[in-house]
Amino acid sequence: MEFQTVTLGTAPTRTVTVGASRAAIICPLQGPDNSTLVSSARTIAASPCDIVEWRVDTFASTQENVLRGALQVLRRELTVPLVATARSHSEGGGTAPENYSTIVRALIDAGVDAVDIEMSAPAAVDLIDYALARHTPVILSSHDFVGTAGIEQLLDQFTRMQHTLRERITRATQTKSAETIAEWESRGWGIVKIATTPQNSMDVFKLMVAARRFVDTVATLPIIAIAMGRLGQVSRAYPQTLGSSATFASVPGESSAPGQISIDALARFDESTHCLQAPF
């Protein structure tokens, strides 16, 4: 099966292709209310951000109509694709387990450009099916805030997550017309994301080796691989070296995970080193 990039965004939003020769910069956006979101969105809009990740778990309301209204507000402020993430308590976020599925479904119905779905969520498969049925690309994610598994375990994790997405994609296309399938094949369906917490430098290299081997051998979907914390900053600064199709960087006050680099600093570094470009 051929490798499939994912293109996010539709006019008038600028489109961004994840899985191309340059790693995309994803910038988190957080806040409890619309006023805070607008202020942050305007700061991000002036930055070299490619994709915005709205961390919905920092928003005060979980009501569908309120979330939909907030999304409309953000659309007016941003010209880049918007990914929605309701990070759960178990993976470092603020979303209670009992609310997770309802919020994710509401975000999909609201029309986000892509949605993050945690592999560990009990309803993960149902949520993937729900997203794909509504033509919403999925970022299937896993976050380890304790440590970093071994290379073989990480390879197995990448493989299992890709298999899950591919299996649901196959299922979703069985009821689609040939024209719809062709359109979706050109736009792409999903991304696999794994983030770990290194305890030492070797843990960072474990993730980098596993990601690189996966991409070079069996990857058919783009991946995002991140080692969190200060130790893992090399994985954020040189994403394409390890096969990662995107990296996360933040504007002041908007960091959503330990070790995120300043987006302006990363952009300047890329200008001088081409660190976001594929090395070969």
pLDDT for 83-95, tens place per residue?
A: 999 999 999 899 9
Mean pLDDT score across all residues of the chain: 93
Predicted local distance difference test score (pLDDT) of residue 256: 62
pLDDT digits (tens, 9 = 90+) for 5-57: 999 998 788 999 999 999 999 999 999 999 999 999 999 999 999 999 999 99
Q: What is the pLDDT of residue 110?
A: 94
What's the mean pLDDT in 196-213? 97
Read out DSSP for 266-278? HHHHHHHH-TTB-
Query: What is the β-pairing status of strands 114-118 and 82-85?
Result: parallel
pLDDT value for 194: 98
| Residue pLDDT, tens place only, 128-165 | 999 999 999 999 999 999 999 999 999 999 999 999 99
- What are 223-267's pLDDT values in tens digits? 999 999 999 999 999 999 999 999 999 887 666 666 789 999 999
% residues pLDDT > 90 (the chain): 85
Spell 96-113 as b/e; 16+ CB within 10 A means b: eeeebbebbbbbbebbbb
- Phi/psi of residue 173, nearest 5 degrees: -80, -10
Selection from 215, 236, 268, 251 nearest residue 23 by Cα: 236
For position 266, what pLDDT does the model report? 95
| Cross-strand partners of 190 | 138
Q: Does the pTM of the predicted model rise above 0.75?
A: yes
Give the tens place of pLDDT for each residue, 163-189. Answer: 999 999 989 988 888 888 888 888 899
The C-alpha atoms of residue 139 and residue 192 are separated, in whole angstroms, by: 6
Q: How much is the pLDDT for 177?
A: 86
